[in-house]
Every structure is written in C-alpha cells, then in structure tokens.
Amino acid sequence: MSDFAKKDIGIKEAQQLVDKWITTVGVRYFSPLTNMAVLAEETGEVARIMARMHGDQSVKPGEKLDLADELADLLWVTMAIANQNGIDLAEAFYNNINKKNVRDSERHKANPKLKQ
C-alpha cells in the first residue's frame, strides 16, 4: 500500500490513484449510474454536516461531523466518474478557471449583494 502514502499530489495523480485502487482493491468500477447515486449520497452527507456546523440544526448524540472526510469522498467519486468518462480533471479544472476569468471578470465586483 506504499503507493497510497500520505503526500501532496495533483489532480492528475489523484485520478490515477483512484483508478489503481478501484481496479485492484475495489475489483472494478461501479456502473456510471451507481456512481451518480453515490455522488448524490456523498453530497447529502456534506449538506448534513454543513447544516449542523453552520445552520440551525443541532448535532445528534453520537453523530460524527467529519467534513474533511466527506469532501474527500466527493472528490473520490467525482474522480471515478471522470475516469469512467475519459475526462482529465486537471485539464477540465484549468479550462473552467479560464472560463470564469473571462465570463466573470467584472460580474462579482459589480454585484451590490457582495459589497460589505
């Protein structure tokens, strides 16, 4: 398991680690529809924690609030879905930032709702 040692990695390497784990330890990828359901489930887990931490809901007795772990689960299933669809998330992320820089270069500065 030394391939999965704790270190700072990039998106591309993380996608490769997810693929290696899924195809060895995990046996194979879940179906795309199952992974979509898992993505929704993990998103719900993040929402539950955020509601407890920053919303009006209280923590239930014995309830564990591990936002970092749930966000990592979201990253994992997102990378699995990307792998299944031949998507390089590092490239997609770079393209997404460029899109936002062009589309939103002045948009948020002009939003009176964001003025403090």
> Has residue 16 been placed in a domain?
yes
Q: Is 116 part of a structural domain of the chain?
A: no
From start to end of 1-116, where are the E strands?
A: none
- 74-86 residue pLDDT tens: 999 999 999 999 9
Inside any domain, residue 112: no
The one-character DSSP state at 67 is H
Query: Residue 65's domain spans which residues?
Result: 2-91
Is 110 among the domain residues? no
Task: List the structure tokens of 101.
Answer: 């820089």
Give me the residue label for tokens 């784990």.
21
In tens, the pLDDT along 85-115 reads 999 999 999 999 999 888 887 888 888 888 8
DSSP state of 59: P
Answer whether residue 21 is part of any domain: yes
Domain membership of residue 102 (yes or no) is no
CATH number of residue 21's parent domain: 1.10.287.1080
Distance CA 67, CA 75 (A): 12
Count: domains in the chain: 1
Average per-residue pLDDT for the chain: 92
